Each structure stands twice: as C-alpha cells, then as structure tokens.
Amino acid sequence: MSVTPLIHPSTDAATVPAADRPVDPEWWRGAVIYQIYPRSFLDTNGDGVGDLDGVTRKLDAIADLGVDAIWISPFFKSPMEDFGYDVSDYRDVDPLFGDLDAFRRLLAEAHARGLRVLIDLVVSHTSHQHAWFQESRADRSNPKADWYVWADPTPTGNPPNNWLSLFGGSAWEWEPHRRQYYLHNFLKTQPDLNFHNPEVQDAVLDTAKFWLDLGVDGFRLDVVNFYFHDALLRDNPPARADASPLTVQRSNPYAMQDHLYDKHRPENLVFLERFRTLLDAYPGATTVGEMGIDRDVATATEAYTLADRRLHQVYSFELMTPTLSADHIRQVVRGMEAEVRTGWVSWAVSNHDFARIVSRWGLADRARDAAPLLIALLASLRGSPCLYQGEELGLTEAEIAFDDLQDPYGRAFWPEFKGRDGCRTPYPWRHDQPHGGFSQARPWLPVPPEHLAAAHDLQAADAGSALSRVRRFLHWRRTRPELIKGEFRMLETDGPVVAFERRLGAARTLCAFNLDRGPQRLPLAGLGPLTVDAASGFNAEAGEGELRLPGLGGAFCRVV
C-alpha cells in the first residue's frame, strides 16, 4: 500500500543525489564516522543553540581531522522535549537549526570535501505534536486510528501490561479522546508508531526515500530494535541475571525487566529487509542501527546485519562501560569476532547519551594521552569507528548544576543519575572568546571553564595535543588498508595490554594498546620480525622478543 506524502517545500537542489554519484558501494566498511550534536556544535545566529550553518562553517576542520563521514543528530521539526528525538515533521528542518536550504548547503559542501553525510532517523516513535498522532488520537475510526499502539484498559482501569518507559514510570499513557492507552517507550510525548500496520511501514520508507533523493548517504537508525512490539501485549518477565549493565541506569526500574516483549521482536528483521531493499536502490547508501539490548548482543548483531539483507552495521554499546577494563574489551571483541561473520559492527566508546569517556574511565587527568590511544584502539578494530564530537579534544564530563539541567531523563532521576547534559555541552572552538567561541549569546548549556584549556584552537597549534595526535593517526590509518578492511586476529594477552593483528594480503600490522598508566611489556614470541611504524604517532620500542609500551601508549608494528 502506498502512502501519499504530505506537501512540503520543493526539494529542487543544487546538490547531486547520492544515487547519481560514482561511489564505492562499500565505502562504509572501516570508515571513520564523526557524530555531530548540532545544537552544541556552533551557533551562527546568536540564539545560543548550534545550527546547520554552524556545521557547514566547520566542515574544513572536520575534514582535516581525517574522518570519512559525519552523522548529524536530529534536526527535524520538533517541540524539542527530547531535543529532536521527538519529531513532529520528518520532511522539514526545525527553525532552531535552519531550513531545508541550509541542509542542502551543508550536504553540498560536505560532499565537495569528500565527506559522506548520515542523518539520524527517529521512526520508532514521533512527537505527540506530529499530524499523524493528532489524527490518530481523535477517535477509533479515523484513517490513522491504527498508526500508533493503542490498547484498552484492564477492567479496573489500569494499563494493559507491565511495560515500563525508559524515562520512568509506565510505558502507557491514557488518552481521554479514545478512552484508551497509547504506548510510549520514552517520554509520554513520544508515542510509539505501530509497525504492525503496513501503512506505517510505507510511510517510514517514504520518509527515508525523501532524504535519499535529497542526497544523504544513509541513516543512523535510532533505537532500531524498538520498532515492533508484541501484538499480544504480554507482560515482560523479571530481568535475567546475565543482563547487560549498559542498557540503562540501575537506579531506573526499567532495568528490573527482561524486555522480551516490548522490543527486539522477530518482525523487526522482516521490516529491515524492506528497508534494505530501498537502500540498495541508492548505491553507497548505508545504515547504522542503534540497538540497545540486555543480552546476546553479538548474536543479535549478526542477525540484524545478516548477509547484506538487513542493516549494513549495528552500533555497539558494549564498550561504553562505566569503568575501564582490558578484560572486558577482549571479551567483547572476541564475542563479536566469533558471532558476526557476515555483518559489520560500528564501534563507539562515547556518544550524546553517555558520560565523556576520559571521565567515565577515570583518565581525565591524562586526557592528552588517553584520548588518542582510545580512538586509535577503536579505529583499529574490525568494524567502523564512530567518534563523538569533542572526543578528539579529550573533553571531560561537565558538571551541570540542577538549575541548568535540560535533560528530562536527568531531571527524573536526579541525583542518582544526573542525565546526559554533561556530555552535550557546547564545543569549545576558541579559548579566548566568550563561551569558547561557540556562541555570542548565553548557550543552552554552559561551557565549563576547564574546556577552554582544551579548546580546538589551542590544540590545533600544539603538535603534541590530543587533537593533533588523533589527526595524525587518522590520516596515517588511511595508508594502511589492513586496518580498514583487513582480517582480524586477537593476540592472547592478559593484564592491561590489548593486542591484535590486522592482515590484508601480504600486509600485516600488529596493534598494541597499553590501558595502564604505567609502562608495560608485551612478549612477541612467534610473531616474526617487527618494525615500529612511528608515522602512526605512537612510539613504543621493539626490543629483543618484546614490545615496550609507555603508560597509556600504543604501537603499530609492521610484521615482516
């Protein structure tokens, strides 16, 4: 069933659609993706909020970093109750960020610099202000009555089951017009779409086609495993003992359930095959699916990326642990390597929902060394690394006073969980300008004073800074195809050193990372002669039968 799209401003553009540009259809394998949270990147109109023109203005700095693509967090029209993850119009830009012409300019300028552009597509739910929901909530007989997940109350008036919202409380909200409950896995202002309805699937695919025709190179699919719910609305059982601690804060009762029925349903995979069919009509277009689940992550990753039939990549949360553990890194990587045979992983250690990595792993005082090391580790695994803005500067987690807090998640669980604002503060471009050069007005979140000392301009002028070292490594990485698409073999190590080999044809590179503050030695028995490649920016020493790694240091060695 086809869906007639709403009338929107003309999409005639000077940009050349991605489908018409000659591309390597697998450019995304091993590509470095840079996540931009636009409201905190650069404000060009003086309202204290970053915008699309701000992204365009800084594309040279992004390209100079050595990344291959940018992922832009949501900029669609929205009441901003969850900062753009509550969409009220999928085919228009929120005035806070600009307009469609501003996006066309961004797209054209990014492509001119060889940067791919991925956008954040949030389709598991909409805003309650979306026209679809306004029609659906009116009564039980309108054309969109079944576009959202509606359920009758129990005989005593309670919600139909025990499902919980990630943001606190029941996942069901009463709607007096229909005298029914609607499902919301997040805020009550974010009603869930009913993907069991084929019309909803068609509308989502039509939305994706709109942006693909405009020229985007793909999508980061928000909460991709939340699309379908159990049609029988069965209660979730209690959480299993082996549930991942990464999915949600333990102060949240959401963590007390095994989310067997409210997400990760088998129907999801069938729909993703429809989505992939659409993407395949646009050579080079890619998908990165965000999938937060409690267990069996590697198995699910393989299923969601199976044999070029579904997603291109799954975005992994498994390295976003609250503490640093080399053992955990080895365990996760081995698990993914064992299970993910035909698919692909997008690796990350930070994003807009997690505390900054150098603070989270207790390395804030050594950010100058830790940031390049962790990015190099991420970018050397088999997969596609995703870097979050500011990671290259080694930014620390900001302390935000309750009165300045913007995140509804943080307000709901303060002070046990302080929310996500600490990693969302504005990017510090200049150390000598108000608000770090982000804006001339008071920003939507304050710029912490300590971030001024790590500002982009200072680090760009310092050859030993975190930024300069990350830039040097990412450009060097482009000369080593085995690090991008080569085979992977984990070395048997213990303690704080993570080591593995990447191989492509005759090219072999040993990668070693010391996650400890003190020096470590890595035995090299059986590997053959090695030559340390100092051009990577990591200068460990190869001795007789061993590699000597400085504290928070790494090595990339050619294996002869």
The residue from 92, 94, 217, 222 that is catalytic is: 222
For 531, how many CA atoms within 13 A lie in the half-sphere containing its CB?
Answer: 6
Q: Which of 257, 247, 251 is nearest to 171 (CA)?
A: 257
Closest-CA residue to 118 (of 52, 15, 38, 217): 217
Cβ atoms of residues 181 and 233 within 8 Å: no
Beta-sheet pairing, 218-221 with 116-121: parallel
* Helices 198-214, 267-280: inter-axial angle, 10-degree rounding: 30
- Residue for token digits 């693509």? 69
Residue 383's alpha-carbon distances to 251, 330, 530, in angstroms, are 32, 15, 25
Let me know if 290 is a catalytic residue. yes
392 is catalytic: no
**Which residue out of 120, 192, 217, 290 is catalytically annotated?**
290
> Which residues 6+ apart lie within 8 Å of 250 measured at CB?
none
Vertex 539, ends 537 and 545: CA angle to 5°? Answer: 140
Q: Where are the beta strands (DSSP E) in 55-127?
A: 69-72, 76-77, 89-93, 116-121
CA-nearest of 316, 347, 364, 377 to 515 is 377
Place of tokens 């070395």: 491
233 beta partners: none
Rounded Cα distance between 541 and 521, Å, is: 10
Give the catalytic positions in this structure: 222, 290
